[in-house]
Amino acid sequence: MRLRHIIAAFSCAAAVAAVPSVGLANPVTDLDNHTIIPTPAHISSAAGSPFTLKPTDCISSNESGDPAAQLLAATLRTSTRGDFPVEQHGGKNCRITITAPPATGGSPEENYTLKVDSGSIRIVGGGPVGAVWGVQSLLHLFGPAAAAPVEIKQTISANPVDITDEPRFAWRGLLLDPVRNFWPVDEVESLIDSMSSLKMNVLHMHLTDDQAWRIDITGQDTEHGINFSDLIKYSGNGATAEKLTRFTDQVGRAGWYSQNDYRRIVDYAARHGIRVVPEVDGPGHANAALHAIEALNGEKSYLPPDPETGRAPQYGNYTEKFTTLDPDLEATYAFHKTVISQLTELSDTPTTRKMGLTPDFFHIGGDENNSISDADYAHYMGRIDEIAKNNNLTPIYWGDAAGKNIHLPHAVIQPWAQGSRAHAVATKALTVEPTLKLLASPAEYVYFPTRPVVSQQGENIVGPVYGRCGDAPACGTKHYFDWDPGKLYKVDDDRILGVEGALWAETTRNRGDMEFLLFPRMASTADVGWAAAGNRGWDSFAAALANHVQLLLLHGKNFAIDPEAPAGTYAGVFYPAPDPMLAATDSAHRVLLGYLATTAVTDPDQIHLTATAISRSTGDTTTVPLSYRMDETFHATDKDQATGRRMNSLIHVYGDFTAVSDPDITISVGGTAPYFTADAPKELSWRLRTPPADPAPVAPLTGREGEKLSAVAIPATPGGVWSWDKPDTILVRGDNQVLATFTPDDTNTYSPVTRVLLVKVDEQAPAKTSQPDRRSDTDNGSTPLSSPIPVIIALLLALAGAFAAAMPYLRLPQ
């Protein structure tokens, strides 16, 4: 049975041999000086010139390397002016090549090699996912500007390097809780982008709980009286109730995922190297199902059903006992058969198959079951375990199951409780069951609702603290970094499936709340799961955090300013805008100079930048007044609330060039802002365009009646080219007023302009004697068909003549 081999297949070491390392001359292992998170297994640097990206570069890939190549191309197109076409199957002679063998099923092959020299970049993945991780490492080498969401004028390069990399553990996940607070699809995709950048490969979606049911399940089970559409009808819009937690007064957001929404998330995740694993919790945390489906309510279910509706009341608050399904009802298991089957089908798409990320796991819950006996718990879990395995899925249990003395063969246990006693329970379960695997989620090291800092910019930060952080009342980035799952649970790596962080949503209400808790601590979790134990060190990891923070700033993502990180981690950076003088200026001659990515800016008045225009012909200098635009200002916290925290957005810096007369200038930008000090002014060579002028008028043109407008040529105009807006327009006799657009060239003399041009038509175009070529659409060598019109006319004339000749002999009725 395939199931028995699924977990065993999640060993990455065996696949490394399929991806040979390409050696460099005199390599030097350099794990202490790199910008890649998580820490690579092996990285060697060598002397030589950097590889510098060109706008004309293309990317060559094979079919299995194409998803990674497309990801790289799309990223670079956004931040640069290049097209970066992806050429498959040999194609053009591209300087960047990305290849991988096809996915083999079971565990995705995540290992890769990455070789950079002055003239080429070569990524070879152990499988399609491994190639994606090679691209993410390359983007880290290129620096934050390469993955910016705006176009930046900056040389993108990477020093010569040779990387051979593989993960320590096969599972590096994050639990997302859309039940207590709903996360729309676009916010989930934004999270996936950040996870992929850190090579986290599992998104565990906690889709059901007491408060709400978040996934649409279709159909009916008439035998057991179940209408699955009632799940969304009655429980799709639940959420954490007001005053449920003392850390926020806001209610959770409501909503639910359609099946198309869920497929979209699954496919988007797969293209980024991530598997989506659904969880349907039970027998506890099940009130949303009990409230929606009357047939699930029985003698042993809790909360008790309402006598009028036959369904449990909607869940509004925690109670003295937790909810539970009835383990004696056959409807309970019929219900789960349909739910598990549909979610498995939704997770099995052409994209997941191509990436080797087909549905192999299902999380069946099992936590906090205070309203059910151990015997009933064991019966329920055994039945659900069987349903999962009948769908060729490996079941995952929360760690509570380890203390229930139930048999867990060929399964995964996910302990979450903190403290040495709880850890020992999980260790004992592994000892008793040799086929059981461990997915480590100790609350003290991976539960993200724990507040990351005590204060931020002098404002006190409130929030729960799930773990012990020494004497500190908060758990920061270093605390999340400084642990090892093998040591914590006292087991060898071959018994550990991986690590998973958890973002429970009782205290989060929007994307900013989510990101404040995750970043930069999620980078620590990624490193725990990926990096070899002997390669991990806080100093080298922390040195690479600065690039991670810059990427967060560029993408407008929130994060905590963690005092445990080195001071330079949050240093701001000024990124020049691309060829800003080519952009149309406004009435004040104001142009976009660039972007300031820095933290904790509550007001533009805190920014003190200076800019000077220096004439390249005369050396004269002119001070350029600056102005700023930021879509969002920094907000440390709402008083006594765990919500509302926001990092400021990317700051747009504009210059007023009214007083600058020489178009050929160098711009020098320096100054200070929160977390930003220019060590030396940044000098940018630009060509200033004065207020744009229209190109010279075009004299009236001439054309022929019946011709297309495209046949009329516009004389060459210095500084750019003209093109017709509607070239297929048919000319008529007289004066034709038609639109044409002028596109300027690189001389920067003009702006694009659309103008009405006059085309005089005095005579008819000569008639065409040749018949149109009516060749078949398929070029199969057949003879073109001649026009049938002459033949039809001849037949009609012949018939008319014959009829006229016969008229004298015809007798018409009287």
Q: Which residues pair with 611 in a beta bridge?
A: 669
CA distance 60 to 122: 10
- Read off the amino acid at residue 478: K
Name the active-site residue from 87, 189, 368, 632. Answer: 368
Q: Which residues pair with 595 in a beta bridge?
A: 575, 652
- Match 């993410």 to its residue by tokens: 136
- Match 């102005």 to its residue by tokens: 627
**Can the peptide bond before residue 303 be classed as cis, meaning omega within 30 degrees of 0?**
yes
CA distance 529 to 555: 25
DSSP states along 182-230? ---HHHHHHHHHHHHHTT--EEEEE-B-SS-B-B----EETTTTEETTH
Query: Cα–Cα distances in Å, from 718 out to 168, 584, 715, 722?
Result: 62, 19, 10, 10
CA distance 300 to 324: 8
CA dihedral sign, ordered 475, 197, 360, 203? positive
Query: Cα–Cα distances in Å, from 576 out to 125, 457, 648, 655, 787?
Result: 34, 28, 19, 12, 62
CA distance 141 to 34: 8
Residue 78 burial by Cβ neighbours in a 10 Å radius (0-12, 13-18, 19+): middle
Q: Is 283 left (phi over 0), alpha (psi -120 to 50) or beta?
A: alpha
Cβ-proximal residues to 335 (8 Å cutoff; 6+ apart), any chain: 221, 224, 226, 289, 293, 295, 296
Angle at 616 between CA 614 and CA 619, to 5 degrees: 60
Give catalytic status of residue 433 as yes or no. no
Element of type H or E holding 61: strand 59-61
Q: Which residues pair with 670 in a beta bridge?
A: 610
| Active site members | 368
